[in-house]
Amino acid sequence: MLNRIEGFRLIAGFVFAPAIGVLVLLLALIANSAVDPDGGASSQFLAAFGLIAASVAYSATFIVGLPLFVLFYVRRWFRPWQISAGGFLVGALVALLPGTGIAFGLMFCAVGLATGLAFWLIVIYRNRALTPGSRSDAPQAARV
């Protein structure tokens, strides 16, 4: 059972992790436009793309990511690579939507991966209710 702080961390993970994933993508696009000014994107394009990416990321998080987290919770899959792979899977499922090109599909996968890692940092990392190594009822081998 989650206490109040752990519950707030769970809510914060679903609220802030998609924004962090989109922010990572936007920073990568800004860095790309700084390196290649001829092929760089304008600030209006980045703002519009950020809004679209955020709406897709939040929709995918609540439609696919939330049930996936319930599955991970039941299976006790809380390692960083497992949560990041789950985020990548959410991005890959979004990339399968009709009309999504390869470039956008890769971006969705990257946003999903970054979102999954941010979610792990916000929700799982050192969370006593979710990690067996920090609970007093865990086996001795898990606490060492």
The per-residue pLDDT for range 33-88, each reduced to its tens digit, is: 777 766 556 777 778 888 888 999 999 999 999 999 999 999 999 999 999 999 99
What global pTM score does this model have? Answer: 0.83
Residue 67: how many CB atoms within 10 A of its CB?
10
76: left (phi over 0), alpha (psi -120 to 50) or beta: left
The per-residue pLDDT for range 114-134, each reduced to its tens digit, is: 999 999 999 999 888 887 655
Q: What is the DSSP letter of 94?
A: H
Give the dihedral sign, CA 60/62/67/69.
positive
The rounded distance, in Å, linking the Cα atoms of 9 and 45 is 33
CA angle 44, 91, 27 (to 5 degrees): 35
